[in-house]
Structure 1
Amino acid sequence: MKNILGIFFDGKGLKKDNSLNIIRLFLAILVVYEHTAPLGGYKVNLDLFGKSVGAWAVYIFFGISGYLITASAFSNSVPQYLIKRIARIFPAYLAIQFVTAFIFAPLVTLLNGDSIAKLWETPVTPIGYFLGNSLLAIKSWGIGNTLSTNPYPKAWNGSTWTIWNEFLCYIIIVIIVSLIIKYKNIYIPLMAFLWLGLSFLSSHLPEVIKASGNSLIDVKLFVPLFAVFMAGSLLYTLRNYLRFNLFGGIVSLILAYLIITSFPNFGYQYAAPFILFVVFVIANKIPSPKWIKTNDLSYGVYLVAFPIQQLIAFALLKMGISIPFIVFVVLASTLSIFVASLSWKYIELPSLNKVKGNNLTKQEKIDEVPAMPTETVGATYRRSSRI
Structure 2
Amino acid sequence: MGPSTDTIFPTAHKLAQYGWLGVEIFFLISGFVICMSVWGRAVGEFAVSRVSRLFPAYWAGIVLTALVVKMWPEITPLHGWDTVITNLTMLQGGNNTPNVDPVYWTLFVELKFYLIMVVAMLCGVTYRNCLLLCGVWTAAAALAPALKTPLLTAFAMPQYAPFFIAGIAFYLMRRHRPNAILWAIVALQLLLAQRYIDYRLATNLGKAAVDALPSWPARVIIVAGFALVGAIALGLFDRIQWKWLTTAGALTYPLYVIHMNIGMTLIHHYRNRIPAPVLVAAVTALMLVAAWLIHRLIERPLGKWLRTTMRRGIDDVRQYVTPRRRHARRTPPQTPTTHHMTNGHCRTP
TM-score, normalised relative to structure 1: 0.57
1:237 corresponds to 2:172: yes
Aligned pairs for 1:159-238 (under 5 A) are: 159-181=103-125, 184=126, 186-194=128-136, 196-197=138-139, 201=142, 206-208=145-147, 210-212=148-150, 218=154, 222-238=157-173
Q: Distance in 1 between matches of 2:85 and 2:307?
A: 28
Which residue does 2:195 correspond to in 1? 265
- Partners of 2:284 and 2:88 lie apart in 1 by 25
Aligned counterpart, 1:342: 293
User: Are the aligned partners of 2:84 and 2:100 in contact in 1 as well (CA < 8 Å)?
Assistant: no
Residue segments in structure 1 that go unaligned for 5+ positions in a row:
1-35, 112-121, 142-154, 244-251, 358-387
SS in 1 for 2:21: helix
Gap change, CA 1:315 and 1:132, over 3 Å in 2 = same
RMSD: 4.2
Shift of 1:162: 0.8
Match of 1:124 in 2: 79
Deviation per CA, 1:188-243: give whole Å up to 9, x if none: 53144146436x62xx66425x332xx597569x3332331122122223323337
Among residues 47, 65, 69, which one is paired with 1:105 in the alignment? 69
Residue 230 of structure 2 corresponds to 277
Q: Distance in 1 between matches of 2:194 and 2:42?
A: 40
Which deviations, in whole Å up to 9, do the C-alpha atoms of 1:56-91 show, x marking residues without a partner? 322221121112212222232112211221121122
> Residue in 1 aligned with 2:50?
85
Q: For the residues of structure 2 that align with 1:156 and 1:105, how far apart are their CA atoms?
A: 9
Give the equivalent residue in structure 1 for 2:14. 45
Aligned-pair CA distance for 1:349? 1.9
d(CA) in 1 for partners of 2:301, 2:19: 30
Contact persistence 2:163–2:193 (CA under 8 A): no
Cα distance in 1, alignment partners of residues 294 and 87 from structure 2? 19
- Deviation of 1:275 (Å): 5.0
In 1, Cα distance between equivalents of 2:51 and 2:121:
18
For the residue of structure 2 that corresponds to 1:53, the secondary structure is coil
Structure 1 or 2: more helix by fraction: 2
State the identity %.
Answer: 20
In structure 1, what is the equivalent of residue 343 of structure 2?
none
Distance 1:295 1:108 in 2: 30
Distance in 2 (alpha carbons) for counterparts of 1:54 and 1:227: 19
Find the aligned partners of 2:78 and 2:293 in 1 and give their Cα distance.
32
Q: Which amino acid aligns with 2:139?
A: G
Other-structure match for 1:66: 31
Distance across 2 between alignment mates of 1:207 and 1:295: 39
Change (3 A) 1:94 1:240: closer
- CA shift in 2, pair 1:236/1:177, >3 Å: farther
Asked if structure 1 preserves the Cα contact closer than 8 Å seen for 2:61 and 2:257, the reply is yes
C-alpha separation between the residues in 1 aligned to 2:173 and 2:245?
30
The change in CA–CA distance for 1:295 and 1:216 in structure 2 (over 3 A counts) is same
Aligned residues: 268
Per-residue deviation, 1:135: 2.1
Native 8 Å contact 1:87 1:352 kept in 2: yes
CA separation in 1, counterparts of 2:161 and 2:22?
15
Q: Please say if residues 28 and 166 of structure 2, whose CA atoms lie closer than 8 Å, have aligned partners that are also in contact.
A: yes
Q: Is the 8 A contact 1:195 1:227 kept in 2?
A: no
Q: Higher RCO, 1 or 2 (CA under 8 Å, sep at least 6)? A: 1
Picking from 91, 95, 98, the partner of 2:60 is 95
State which of 266, 287, 302 in structure 2 corresponds to 1:351.
Answer: 302
Rate the CA distance shift 1:196–1:93 in 2: closer, same or farther, 3 A. same
State the 1:172 CA deviation. Answer: 1.1
Aligned to 2:207: none
1:307 maps to 2:261? yes
Q: For residues 238-259 of structure 1, what are the alpha-carbon distances to aligned partners after superposition, in whole Å with 9 as ceiling and x for unaligned?
A: 323337xxxxxxxx9xx97xx6
CA distance in 1, matches of 2:133, 2:174: 13
Question: Please, what TM-score do these two structures have when normalized by structure 2?
Answer: 0.62
Label 1:83 to 1:328 Cα distance change in 2 as closer, same or farther (>3 A): same
Distance 1:219 1:288, change over 3 A: same
Q: Cα offset for 1:282?
A: 5.9
Secondary structure of residue in 2 paired with 1:193? helix
Aligned equivalents of 1:217 and 1:83: distance in 2? 28
Residues 329-357 of structure 1, C-alpha deviations (whole Å, 9 max, x = no match): 53343222211111111222223333556
Identify if the C-alpha distance between structure 1 residues 330 and 108 changes in structure 2 by more than 3 Å, giving closer, same or farther: same
Contact 2:52/2:306, CA 8 A, preserved across alignment: yes
Contact 2:61 2:254 in 1 (8 A): no
1:194–1:63 distance in 2 versus 1, CA, 3 Å: farther
The corresponding residue for 1:248 is none
Q: Segments of 4+ in structure 1 off by > 6 A?
A: 40-43
Deviation at 1:97, TM superposition (A): 1.1
